[in-house]
Amino acid sequence: MAKPEPMMNCRLAQEAMKDLLSGSHEAGLQEALTRHTRSCPSCRVGVEDLLNLLRLAEDLAPSDVPTGFDERFYTKLANLEMQRHRTATRPLSLWEIAMQRAGGPAAALATLLATGMGIEWLLPDLTAGNGAGLQTPEASRTINTLLVAAGAVGIAQSLNHLHRLFGLLAQRRKSQ
Amino acid sequence: MATDEELALESAGGVTDAFRQLYERHRQGVYNMARRFLGNREAAEDVAHECFLSAYENIGQFEPRRGSFKSWLFAIAYHKCCRFNHQKHRWLPIDLFREQIERLPAAPGLERKLDMERLIMSLPVSSKIPILLTKLHGFSVEECAEITGLTETNVKQRIFRGFKTMQRQIKG
């Protein structure tokens, strides 16, 4: 059995217009709306205007791309391809290889040392034991040396990243 | 004829000609959206080119099960336009399809169409884009919501608000 159609009132007509304008309406909605506007002069004018605007909007024609649009695009595409090819085939420098290989272990070492130093600083009794332990001058010197070394690798790594970042920015500026 | 999604997969596999076909199918649509979004021909061309270059670079990330290629491409275009509009070029002059007016011969209904263009161009981006995507580019409300990141209810609301604004402008 067919579902009985609800009576359209002005509020429902507004809601129906929303669906109609967005194109997500069910079949028969427009007819129901038309029936309502026949008996409701206050809705009629507004709905007719909106329906006319909708017809005009659906009738909008796309404009052509400007002359030379494709040529300019294909030139940019060829440049991009060339750039990608150059990056893919360029051999890595010794510095880059060293940095790539040293990056992981340096970060791990720095984390380990920072954790150790943190524990020592926060809980000196635990690491000092009976008054000796890590707080001897030799131990401190060793830790300091290791920290300086890890810091140096870390700084070098950061500089390398900055260098690559500026290189990328310069490339992008050039391609624009 | 291969579908957009098949061509996109081929292109991701390294077939350059497949991307060329996709470009030829959608360049006009993307250019038109950018043109009406930004209101400026040169800016629209730049953004449309950027959109296709970005699609070319990231075509491997396109997943057909998540939506059509056209929606994916227009989402890129939409975000490029938003960024362009917000970051750099708020001061761009709006050229209201001047060359269209100059080129086309007088024809019945032409003035009304141009008025419609002017009306749409005068809308705020929040209403203009949902109207253009659904009416000019044939996207459904659901697809439009995907492209713009809005909810479907919000898209419908913005379309309605856009038409209401145009109606008010006509009435003066």
Chain A CB contacts of B28 under 8 Å are 62, 64-65
Nearest CA in chain B to A64: B28
Q: Are A23 and B144 in contact (CB under 8 A)?
A: no
For chain B, say whether A21 makes contact (Cβ under 8 Å): yes
pLDDT digits (tens, 9 = 90+) for A27-57: 778 788 888 888 888 888 888 888 888 888 8
Interface ipTM = 0.82
- Work out the pLDDT band at A134, boundaries 50, 70, 90: low
Nearest 5°: the CA angle B100, B106, B107 is 105
CA B4 distance to own-chain centroid: 17
B1 inside 8 A of chain A by CB: no
Please indicate whether, in this complex, the C-beta atoms of B28 and A62 are within 8 angstroms of each other.
yes
For B116, which of A56, A62, A80 is closest by C-beta distance? A56
Q: Which pLDDT does position A131 carry in this prediction?
A: 46
Closest partner CB to A22 (pick from B41, B49, B141): B141
pLDDT at A70: 95
Whole-number pLDDT of residue B88: 62
Check: CB of residue A36 under 8 Å from CB of residue A17: no
Residue B21's CB is within 10 A of a number of other CB atoms, namely: 16
Which residues of chain A lie closer than 8 angstroms to B116, CB-CB? Answer: 53, 56-57, 59-60
Q: In chain B, what residues touch A49 (CB-CB under 8 Å)?
A: 167, 170
Residues in B 88-127 with any Cβ partner in A closer than 8 A: 97, 100, 112-113, 116-117, 119-120
Chain A positions in Cβ-Cβ contact with residue B113 (cut-off 8 Å): 56, 59-61
By Cβ distance, the residue of A57, A58, A65 closest to B27 is A65
B45 chain-A contacts, CB cut-off 8 A: 65-66, 69, 72
User: Chain B within 8 Å of A73 (Cβ-Cβ)?
Assistant: yes
Please give the mean pLDDT across all residues of chain A. Answer: 75
Position B5 scores a pLDDT of 92
Minimal C-alpha gap between B120 and chain A (Å): 8
How far the first Cα of chain A sits from its last, in Å, is 65
Confidence at residue A62, expressed as pLDDT on a 0 to 100 scale: 81
What phi and psi, each to the nearest 5 degrees, are found at residue A72? -65, -40
Cα separation values, A101 from A92, A113, A164, Å: 12, 19, 16
DSSP readout, A15-79? HHHHHHHHT-PPTTHHHHHHHHHHH-HHHHHHHHHHHHHHHHHHTPPPPPPPTTHHHHHHHHHHH
A22:B27 CB<8 A: no
> Does pTM top 0.90 for this prediction?
no
Mean pLDDT of B7-24: 91
What residues of A are in contact with residue B140 (Cβ under 8 Å)? 23-24
Q: Distance between CA atoms of B6 and B22, rounded to whole angstroms?
A: 10
pLDDT confidence of B59, banded at 50, 70, 90?
A: very high
**Is the CB of A69 less than 8 angstroms away from the CB of B27?**
yes
* Listed range (A64-68, A154-158, B125-129) with the worst mean pLDDT: A154-158
Comparing alpha-carbon positions, the chain A residue that sits nearest to B162 is A21
Report long-range pairs for A84-92 (Cβ below 8 Å, ≥24 apart): none
Q: Is A55 exposed, middle or buried (0-12, 13-18, 19+ CB in 10 A)?
A: exposed
pLDDT of residue A158: 73
